[in-house]
């Protein structure tokens, strides 16, 4: 099991690097399958040894080898997160049928693209959300086909709730990309897990926002924080530990030890 986790982790580092490429090129409307990677500053094409996840960044001391422009720490951190996330999914669902494990890994990769895109460009790419929704429906057909209607209703319900926030705040409280993702999140988690997933997203978002205000990184009024990463956090948390968290939540609501 440890060997499998290590193999997936190191493979996940490379996958994380590729997911960053997808997020960047979707924003620029470029193909992520064609074209060599290059420095965003000097546009110099990068050699293979400059593209080794985390290692290249450390060896080059966080700078481009050609123009010496400082590279963002976002890239090695996102690669590490991808490696950890995919290895965690593999270890948790390795006993499941291969198609289920594959779909969960694929969905996790798509969720990471959404996080990377929203953090860097404050955009949740619709094509990726559509792909996650389709993959979620396929996963439901394989694992729990009887829950499919309820999952779709959950998607519409949470999307309507988010659209109401978007409409009433005129887009200041929530972006329309969040509304679209909310439907996908509802389909993927279903009822009642979607409720706790949304709760986790709002709570963590509020804590981070308050922390940034206290650290004077954001203003109380006028500053915006991408909400997509928190929605993904709520989604992933419920995918991984949803049943256990629901049991804890029910015990707390019912007042049982």
Give me the helices (H) in 28-125, please.
55-59, 74-93, 98-121
Residue 95: is its pLDDT beyond 70?
A: yes
Average pLDDT score over residue span 124-149? 95
Lowest mean pLDDT among 23-32, 59-68, 88-97, 241-250: 59-68
Question: Which tens digits make up the pLDDT trace of 21-76?
Answer: 999 889 887 777 776 777 777 767 777 677 789 988 888 888 877 787 788 889 89
Residue 145: is its pLDDT beyond 80?
A: yes
Phi, psi (deg, nearest 5) at residue 38: -145, 165
Residue 185: is its pLDDT beyond 70?
A: yes
Cα–Cα distance for residue pair 181/240, rounded to 1 Å: 19
Tell me which DSSP letter residue 219 carries. Answer: -
Residue 219: is its pLDDT beyond 60?
A: no
Average pLDDT score over residue span 132-149? 95
Residues 79 and 15: beta-carbon distance below 8 Å: no
Range with top average pLDDT, 35-49, 138-152, 209-223: 138-152
Write the CB contacts of 88 (distance below 8 Å, at least 6 apart in sequence). 240
Residue 128: is its pLDDT beyond 80?
A: yes
Average pLDDT score over residue span 10-22? 94
What Å distances lie between residue 45 and 54, 90, 122, 160, CA to CA? 18, 34, 27, 45
Structure confidence at residue 129 (pLDDT): 97
Average pLDDT score over residue span 191-219? 87
Q: Decide: residue 168, CB within 10 A, 0-12 exposed, 13-18 middle, 19+ buried.
A: exposed
Residue 2: is its pLDDT beyond 60?
A: yes
Lowest mean pLDDT among 31-40, 83-92, 96-105: 31-40
Phi, psi (deg, nearest 5) at residue 44: -75, 130
Cα–Cα distance for residue pair 197/189, rounded to 1 Å: 8
% pLDDT > 70, the chain: 94
DSSP code string of 114-129: HHHHHHHHS---HHHH
Lowest mean pLDDT among 5-9, 24-28, 44-48, 199-203: 44-48
């Amino acid at each position: 099991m440890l060997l499998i986790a290590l193999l997936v982790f190191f493979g996940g580092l490379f996958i994380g690097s590729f997911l960053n490429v997808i997020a960047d090129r979707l924003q620029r409307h470029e193909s992520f399958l064609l074209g060599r990677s290059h420095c965003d500053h000097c546009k110099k094409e990068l050699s293979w040894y400059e593209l080794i996840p985390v290692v290249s960044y450390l060896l080059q001391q966080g700078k481009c080898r050609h123009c010496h422009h400082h590279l963002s720490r976002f890239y090695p951190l996102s690669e590490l997160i991808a490696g950890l996330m995919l290895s965690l999914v593999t270890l948790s669902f390795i006993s499941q049928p291969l198609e289920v494990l594959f779909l969960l890994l694929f969905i996790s990769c798509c969720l990471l693209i959404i996080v990377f895109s929203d953090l860097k460009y404050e955009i949740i790419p619709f094509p990726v959300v559509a792909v996650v929704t389709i993959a979620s429906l396929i996963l439901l057909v394989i694992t729990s086909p009887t829950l499919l209607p309820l999952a779709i209703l959950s998607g519409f319900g949470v999307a309507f709730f988010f659209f109401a926030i978007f409409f009433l705040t005129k887009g200041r409280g929530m972006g329309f990309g969040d509304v679209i993702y909310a439907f996908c999140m509802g389909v993927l988690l279903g009822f009642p897990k979607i409720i706790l997933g949304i709760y986790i997203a709002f709570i963590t978002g509020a804590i981070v926002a308050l922390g940034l205000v206290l650290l004077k990184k954001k203003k109380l009024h006028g500053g915006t924080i991408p909400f997509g990463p928190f929605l993904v956090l709520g989604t992933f948390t419920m995918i991984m530990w949803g049943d256990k968290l629901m049991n804890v939540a029910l015990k707390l609501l019912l007042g049982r030890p």
